[in-house]
């Protein structure tokens, strides 16, 4: 049988995903035939664009258990993070100036909180255990009368570890504190329910679940409690005044279609991806010195983070770069030579953090590709001597 393999095999779906052809087909017409501005309410071009935007809003809301009026379109998750955290810090400064977050958050959250810290906002940085999970008792004890926000990610972008979101939501509700979650890695991969989980603000990005780059959304709760944000972009009053700027109609249409496909296909797809990930995990863990990073149970179905003893992740990436597309961790920090701050925060020594690779499977990953990756690693290991220097392959 003829192989359909194409190299390098793409296993970096946590960084970004290819646009699903069905998504591409839906949003392409909005660049030419239906190019209207959704804010133009005096002619058919504008009406058509507005109608497409509202359909997308409904689709995104349905995916996370929200109502359409709670969806604010953004340029992506980083903007959503900034709008949520800075918007709350400014709007609720009369109530307090204390925010609680976690040391393993994405850099978008960490850097936003550091920015606010310089402006006098007090930030509590919660540690995590070896599984990558914060202590909920410690979280609750950190809440003060001046606490206005808990900012805790839904699932970690490097290890795939899923945080106990519903329990965190209950703690926030109990103390009258707003709860924001960066769900960029979780939406489209896990069933997310903002109402059931007590989430007040949530950010997502289309390109993480087979939509276009440069578009995302922020969920903002409308009642119990009604969340108010100080906008970070002024001018025009778009998106109920929370995010001014001409809407990216093609991108929003693509986001909506991607959300709808995930809602329908996610249950079966999650099972398939978990099976492929477990196949990869079992085979790679059988190699000498390979260790699993993160909670073995509470993980995203498509994510695998492994450390390769006495190996350097950069040398591994260099060796496999023509055959497998991988990363050593977050795409936002992959250019640095520092060990993963996430794995360091989990208490791992530098060597284990330096030797970590992240495998991110996706909708278009096949069993044939996984078997080929396993074979490539099996071939590589006998070619490495005890000093860790690569010899002939």
DSSP 100-159: EEETTS-HHHHHHHHHHHHTT-EEEEE---TTS---HHHHHHH--TTEEEEE--SB-TTT
Give the pLDDT confidence score for residue 241 in this predicted structure: 84
| Residue among 72, 74, 61 nearest 187 (CA) | 61
Q: Are 374 and 280 in contact (CB under 8 A)?
A: yes
Q: Which parts of the chain sit beneath pLDDT 70?
A: 1-2, 330-337, 383-393
Give the pLDDT confidence score for residue 237 in this predicted structure: 86
Show the tokens assigned to 368: 């044939």
The span from the CA of 243 to the CA of 232, in Å, is 7
Q: What is the rounded end-to-end Cα distance, in angstroms, of the chain?
A: 26
Give the pLDDT confidence score for residue 335 in this predicted structure: 53
Give the pLDDT confidence score for residue 4 in this predicted structure: 81
Give the pLDDT confidence score for residue 387 in this predicted structure: 39
| pTM, rounded to two decimals | 0.94
Show the tokens assigned to 325: 């597309």
Alpha-helix runs per DSSP H in the chain: 21-27, 44-64, 77-91, 107-118, 136-142, 165-174, 249-285, 313-320, 341-345, 350-354, 367-380
Give the pLDDT confidence score for residue 236 in this predicted structure: 85
- What amino acid positions are annotated as catalytic residues? 332
Q: Is 358 helix (H, G, I), strand (E, B) or coil?
A: strand
* Structural domains present in the chain: 9-18+266-383 (3.90.1150.10), 21-260 (3.40.640.10)
Q: What is the pLDDT of residues 280-310, one digit of tens each?
A: 999 999 999 999 999 999 999 999 999 999 8
Give the pLDDT confidence score for residue 383 in this predicted structure: 56
| Cα-to-chain-centroid distance, residue 253 | 20
């Amino acid at each position: 049988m003829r192989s359909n393999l194409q190299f390098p095999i793409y296993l970096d779906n946590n960084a970004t995903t290819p646009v699903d052809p069905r998504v591409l087909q839906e949003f392409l017409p909005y660049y030419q035939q239906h190019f209207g501005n959704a804010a133009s309410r005096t002619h058919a071009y504008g009406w058509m664009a507005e109608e497409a935007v509202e359909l997308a809003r409904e689709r995104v809301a349905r995916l996370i258990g929200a109502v359409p009026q709670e969806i604010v379109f953004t340029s992506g998750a980083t903007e959503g993070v900034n709008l949520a955290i800075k918007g709350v810090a400014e709007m609720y400064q009369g109530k307090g100036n204390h925010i609680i977050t976690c040391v393993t958050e994405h850099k978008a959250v960490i850097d936003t909180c550091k920015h606010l810290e310089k402006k006098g906002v007090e930030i509590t940085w919660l540690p995590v255990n070896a599984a990558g999970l914060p202590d909920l008792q410690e979280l609750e004890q950190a809440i003060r009368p001046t606490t206005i926000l808990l900012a805790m990610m839904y699932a970690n972008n490097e290890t795939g570890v899923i945080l106990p979101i519903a329990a965190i939501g209950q703690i926030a509700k109990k103390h009258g504190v707003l709860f924001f979650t960066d769900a960029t890695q979780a939406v489209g991969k896990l069933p997310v329910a903002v109402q059931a989980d007590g989430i007040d603000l949530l950010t997502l990005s289309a390109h993480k679940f087979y939509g276009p780059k440069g578009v995302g959304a922020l969920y903002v709760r409308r009642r119990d409690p009604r969340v108010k944000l100080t906008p970070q972009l002024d001018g025009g009053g778009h998106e109920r005044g929370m995010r001014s700027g001409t809407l990216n109609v093609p991108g929003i249409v693509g986001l909506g279609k991607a959300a709808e496909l995930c809602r329908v296909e996610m249950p079966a797809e999650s099972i398939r991806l978990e099976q492929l990930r477990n196949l990869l995990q079992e085979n790679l863990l059988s190699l000498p010195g390979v260790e699993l990073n993160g909670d073995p149970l509470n993980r995203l179905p498509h994510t695998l983070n492994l450390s390769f003893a006495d190996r350097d992740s950069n040398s591994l990436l260099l060796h496999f770069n023509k055959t497998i597309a991988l990363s050593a961790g977050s795409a936002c920090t992959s250019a640095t030579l520092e060990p993963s701050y996430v794995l360091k925060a989990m208490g791992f020594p530098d060597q284990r953090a330096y030797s970590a690779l992240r495998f991110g499977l996706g909708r278009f990953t096949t069993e044939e590709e996984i078997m080929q990756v396993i074979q490539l690693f099996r071939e590589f290991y006998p070619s490495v001597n005890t000093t860790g220097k690569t010899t002939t392959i």
